[in-house]
Structure 1
Amino acid sequence: MALRTLLYRYFFFGWLFRDASTGTALERAAAWRHNRSQARWLPTYMRRWMCCGLLLYLMGVLVESVFSAPLLSTLFYVTGLMSVPGNAVMAVAWIGFKALSGPF
């Protein structure tokens, strides 16, 4: 598998899930069951995003304190901050798959 594909699959979870909004009722139910079973991987993705966000934040602190470059450190702070909404989306999806009985 190509490195680009591996990196995509390491950070983004969309490839794990099936579309539960199309097809017959049986196909939608099967897709929902599949998605519920795949939701077990969402905490893993949340940890990855949290670790990357924390690492980028620490790099921003390092660049700002050691190199006295606040403008450059902003690049690391803002990039690291983007892990917060990503984690929020993953948490809502995970809770939704655990709490909801299905789309029907």
Structure 2
Amino acid sequence: MDNFQSSVLFRYFFFQWLFHDANVNELYQRAAAIAHNKAQRHYLLIYLRRWIALTMLMLFLGIMLEQMYALACVFFYTTAALCACTICNIAVAWVFLGQKNL
């Protein structure tokens, strides 16, 4: 699993490797992690575009397969729904990291 998390494909779609954990007890470490995460905030828009494109692709494939075989489109519609959840997570993270009083 560790090998997959360091792969290019993992880093292309998942952004957690860019951010530091701000859930520490030390005040200065937490402040440094929050400052680092705020500085990395602009990369979230790139990941947001990637996930939107993936969602649109999955919806398109689902629509195309629905015309041919209705049961085959379930995989693509389910994947699109999961992608939509990831889009919401990225959007919420982008909004909250943009707040001044974090």
| TM, length-normalised to structure 1 | 0.87
For residue 3 of structure 1, report the CA deviation from its aligned partner: 9.5
Using the TM superposition, name which of 31-40 and 93-102 deviates more.
93-102
Structure 2 counterpart of 1:39, from 18, 38, 41: 41
Is 1:20 matched with 2:25?
Answer: no
Residue identity over aligned pairs, in percent, reads: 34
Consecutive unaligned residues of structure 2, counting only runs of 5 or more, are none
d(CA) in 1 for partners of 2:5, 2:31: 34
d(CA) in 2 for partners of 1:34, 1:21: 13
For residue 101 of structure 1, report the CA deviation from its aligned partner: 2.1
Contact in 1 for aligned 2:5/2:11 (Cα 8 Å)? no
Instruction: State the SS of the aligned residue for 1:99.
Output: coil
Aligned ranges for residues 41-80 of structure 1 at < 5 Å?
A: 41-65=43-67, 68-80=68-80
Aligned to 2:81: 81
Consecutive unaligned residues of structure 1, counting only runs of 5 or more, are none
d(CA) in 1 for partners of 2:4, 2:96: 32
Query: What is the aligned-residue RMSD (CA, Å)?
Result: 1.9
d(CA) in 2 for partners of 1:87, 1:98: 17
CA spacing shift, 1:82–1:3, aligned 2, 3 Å: closer
What count of residue pairs does the alignment treat as equivalent?
Answer: 100
| TM, length-normalised to structure 2 | 0.89
Q: Post-superposition, which runs of at least 4 consecutive aligned residues in structure 1 deviate over 3 A?
A: 1-4
d(CA) in 2 for partners of 1:51, 1:4: 23
Aligned to 1:92: 92
